[in-house]
Structure formats: structure tokens, C-alpha cells
Amino acid sequence: MSDPVIEVRDLKLRFPSLDGTEVVHAVDGVSFRIEAGETFGIIGESGSGKSTIGRVLVGLLNPSDGDIVFAGRSRSSISGREWRKARRGFQMIFQDSNAALNPRMTILDSLIEPMRIAGGRSREEMRETALAALVRVGLRPDMAQRYPHELSGGQKQRVNIARILPLEPRLVVCDEVVAALDVSIRGEILNLFRDLQRDLGLAYAFIAHDISVVAQISDRVAVTYLGRFVELGATGDVIERALHPYTVALLSAEPQPLPRALRDDRRLVLQGDIPSPVNPPSGCRFHTRCPWATEICGRVDPEWRELRSGHRVACHHATPEGLPSPGRAGTREMTATWEETS
Ligand SMILES: Nc1ncnc2c1ncn2[C@@H]1O[C@H](COP(=O)(O)OP(=O)(O)O)[C@@H](O)[C@H]1O
Ligand SMILES: [Mg+2]
């Protein structure tokens, strides 16, 4: 097997809280690899640590613990200079299409900027490369003379994609890149990502809180909860045969349930908000909201188990066949309810 584009080993990232008195465990022990040309989806509620993982992947944040390995070399073993060079192969696109565009710069200058910083190209080469990138993402070359405010959200997101293409990235972290776009445009932008992947062999880490978006584009999906992965597998397996109660809840919150198996007459509705990552719950972090939770769940951290080929889960109650019927498993007070939907 070829080397993965990037491998993350037991990544932890802690922030000081806003008032500086507490520690936020934003990412707390996550391991995974992203293969060349693959789309690795990361889903979970707001606050589960997705963006933090993304920022670590592109080197915007340094891990508090754990390591990152790329091209067979560990982040901790190379110099800062080598790392800055290698980092160019890892780029990120954000939800806010304005984030990377200077309102006072023409689109052309915004496209040229990353090439200028990288160095090695003449002004004319940069201009030609920028225009080619613009066309590659489906925009007309005359757009280059415009300013960001003259473009729609979808067009700006295309420009943001065009900006990174000349850097020839191997991995692009896409953080909620279609969340702010009209639903009618989302499909077009997802198709563009797909086309570029096919033509350029890009790998993506595709982050979203919306499971249906991630499911459309990802080869594999990781489900995050409070800084940990609770489930990871091929998209079809996770969607059709979810092993973790949290995944079941995310799927069942979809207006049109994705998996056939869940086209049930009941919907799992989670009560309450995601707990604070300052003091995550003991044992399984999801136990405070889980209808399957039993005594062991509050006490023992569940192991990360491969229950089916390539399909892993951290849950005491999951079996290769899925989860037992929820009513019977739970002995604790129910913290989630099943609502009749038909
Ligand atoms: N710079 C920061 N300083 C302090 N806490 C942060 C910082 N960035 C993120 N956090 C906290 O870390 C947790 C994970 O955040 P984030 O990775 O943005 O989650 P997500 O992208 O899944 O919404 C949240 O509790 C968030 O408030
Ligand atoms: Mg985020």
C-alpha cells in the first residue's frame, strides 16, 4: 500500500479558556490516516473539535500531544523550515468565502498572492497561472479584474479554490465550505470539488456539521464528539449500518433519513447541548445523552474497536450487527427520547 498523504497519531490539542483559568480539551486523542486521492469526511455538532483538527492538519495549530506524519516523516522530527515548506502541500478553505479575500484587492491579485509568497515564478507566469486557475474552477477570465464584493458567495468560494490550485496541494482541508451557500449552489460546488479530485488526485478532509453534505462527497466518514472520534468507516457503512448511538442521532435528525434501515417511524432526539470540553463526562463522553447508556458507560472509556472490516466504533453496546433495541438496553434515566414521526 502507498503511504497515506497524512497520518495523525493520538492528536491532542488543548486551549486555555477565554478567561485563562481553565483548559479546553478541544481534541483529545484522535488517530487517522488520509490516503492519496481520498475524501475523508469529519462530522459532528458545533464544538466537537472538527475545525481544530483541520487547522492542525494544515499546520495552523501545533498539537499539544501526539504526532503528524507525512511523506513517511514525523512532524516532530523535522525542522521548522522543512515543515513550512512541506505545509504548502496542505491547504485549507473556510466556510466564510471572504476570509481569504482582501476586499481592496482585485481577484487577480488575490489569486497571485499565495504564489508570490511561495516564490519561484515571474509576474507573467503568476498572471497566466492565476487566469488558468480561474477558468479551471468555472469562472470567466474577466472576473480577474473584479473585487470580491462584485462576486456571489458561490463565485467567491470558487476563487478560494482557484487560489490554492497553483500551490499543487496534495491535501485540501474543506471546513464547512458549502454551509454558507444557498442550497441550490451547494451541489455545483461539491461537483467542482469532485472534478478537481478526479483530475488532480487531491485528497480532502471534508468537515461539516451536516451529515448529508459529508455523505455526498466522502469515501470515509469520521464522527466526532467532544474531541474524540466515536465512529469511523466507509461512508456507506456508517450511513446504512451506523454502530454508534450518536451517529444514529445525527442521522435521525435529517429531515429525510439517509439510511434505509433508519426509515423508521421513530426519531432519536438528543436532549440538551454538547457538554463542555473543559470537563468532559467520565467514561464514554456521550453517556450523558445516550439512551443506550448503562452503568459501565459512565465509568469506563469504551475501547476503539473494529467491529466490521474498516468500520470502527467506541461504544460498549455496539455489536457487529449494530445496536440492540434502545428501550431495553438503557437502565439509566432516559436522556434522549424517541419521537413518533408517523
Ligand atoms: N482559540 C481557541 N481558544 C479557546 N478555545 C477554543 C479555541 N478554538 C476552539 N476552541 C474550543 O475548542 C472546542 C472545539 O472547537 P472547534 O474545533 O472549533 O469545533 P467545531 O469546528 O467542531 O465546531 C470548542 O469548545 C471551542 O470553543
Ligand atoms: Mg468548526
Judge if 252 and 190 occupy the same domain: no
Q: Which of 186, 221, 256 is the last residue of a domain?
A: 221
pLDDT higher than 50, residue 334: no
Judge if 182 and 276 occupy the same domain: no
Judge if 197 and 266 occupy the same domain: no
Please tell me the distance from the alpha carbon of residue 269 to that of residue 272, in angstroms, as a whole number. Answer: 10
Three cell numbers, residue 148? 470580491
pLDDT, position 330: 44
> E strand or H helix at 174, and its extent?
strand 171-175
Q: How far is the CA of 266 from the centre of ligand 1 (A)?
A: 33
Q: What confidence category does residue 259 fall into, taking pLDDT thresholds of 50, 70 and 90? A: low
pLDDT, position 258: 55
pLDDT, position 332: 43
Identify the CATH number of the domain in which residue 22 sits: 3.40.50.300
Q: Whose CA is nearest to atom 14 of ligand 1?
A: 49
pLDDT, position 329: 46
Q: Do the domain assignments include residue 306?
A: yes
Q: Do the domain assignments include residue 207?
A: yes
Q: Do the domain assignments include residue 118?
A: yes
Judge if 188 and 273 occupy the same domain: no
The length of the chain, given as a count of residues: 342
Region of 304 (left: φ > 0; alpha: ψ -120 to 50; beta: rest) is: beta
pLDDT, position 331: 40
Cell 489569486 belongs to residue: 111
Please tell me the distance from the alpha carbon of residue 26 to that of residue 248, in angstroms, as a whole number. Answer: 23
Nearest atom of ligand 1 to the alpha carbon of 18:
4
Q: What is the pLDDT of residues 193-203, one digit of tens each?
A: 999 999 999 99
Sheet hosting strand 6-16, strand order edge to edge: 23-34, 6-16, 65-70, 73-74
Residue that wins the pLDDT comparison between 325 and 339? 325
pLDDT, position 170: 94
Q: What is the pLDDT of residues 55-66, one digit of tens each?
A: 999 999 999 999
Counting beta carbons within 10 angstroms of the beta carbon of residue 189, is it exposed (0 to 12), middle (13 to 18) or buried (19 or more)? buried
Q: Do the domain assignments include residue 153?
A: yes
pLDDT, position 20: 85
Q: Do the domain assignments include residue 232?
A: no
Judge if 207 and 253 occupy the same domain: no
Q: Do the domain assignments include residue 227?
A: no
pLDDT higher than 50, residue 342: no
**What residues form DSSP beta bridges with 65?**
12
pLDDT, position 337: 59
pLDDT, position 86: 83
Cell 461539491 belongs to residue: 190
Judge if 179 and 75 occupy the same domain: yes
Residues lying with their CB under 5 A of ligand 2, a single-atom ion = 51
pLDDT higher than 60, residue 327: no
Judge if 43 and 126 occupy the same domain: yes
For 235-261, b where at least 16 C-beta lie within 10 A, e where not — what string?
A: bebbbebbbbbbbbbbbbebeebbbee
Mean pLDDT, the chain, whole residue set? 90
Give the residue-averaged pLDDT of 78-83: 85
**What residues form DSSP beta bridges with 27?**
13
pLDDT, position 256: 62
Provide DSSP, 211-238: HHHHHHH-SEEEEEETTEEEEEEEHHHH
Strands 220-225 and 39-43 come out as parallel
pLDDT, position 333: 43
Best of 15, 17, 60 to mutate for ligand 1, by most ligand atoms within 8 A of CB?
A: 15
277 closest CA partner among 40, 44, 32, 41: 44
Residue that wins the pLDDT comparison between 207 and 2? 207
Domain ranges, residue 271? 242-340
Judge if 72 and 146 occupy the same domain: yes
Q: What is the pLDDT of residues 279-310, one digit of tens each?
A: 999 999 999 999 899 999 999 999 999 999 99
Judge if 102 and 41 occupy the same domain: yes
Judged by its nearest atom, the ligand closest to the C-alpha of residue 56 is 1
Three cell numbers, residue 89? 502541500
Judge if 154 and 66 occupy the same domain: yes
Pocket around ligand 1: residues whose beta carbon is below 6 Å from it?
15, 24, 26, 44, 46-52, 277
Judged by its nearest atom, the ligand closest to the C-alpha of residue 11 is 1
Please tell me the distance from the alpha carbon of residue 248 to that of residue 231, in angstroms, as a whole number. Answer: 11
Q: How far is the CA of 94 from the centre of ligand 2 (A)?
A: 9
Q: Whose CA is nearest to atom 10 of ligand 1?
A: 26
Q: How far is the CA of 326 from the centre of ligand 2 (A)?
A: 30
Q: What is the pLDDT of residues 10-53, one digit of tens each?
A: 999 999 988 889 999 999 999 999 999 999 999 999 999 999 99
Q: How far is the CA of 102 from the centre of ligand 1 (A)?
A: 25
Please tell me the distance from the alpha carbon of residue 284 to that of residue 314, in angstroms, as a whole number. Answer: 8
Contact 26, 52 (CB under 8 A): yes
Q: Do the domain assignments include residue 237?
A: no
Q: How far is the CA of 309 from the centre of ligand 1 (A)?
A: 32
pLDDT, position 323: 87
Q: Do the domain assignments include residue 235?
A: no
**Total number of domains constituting the chain:** 2
Give the residue-averaged pLDDT of 135-141: 97
Nearest atom of ligand 1 to the alpha carbon of 46:
23
Judge if 198 and 77 occupy the same domain: yes
Q: What is the pLDDT of residues 145-195, one digit of tens each?
A: 999 999 999 999 999 999 999 999 999 999 999 999 998 899 999 999 999
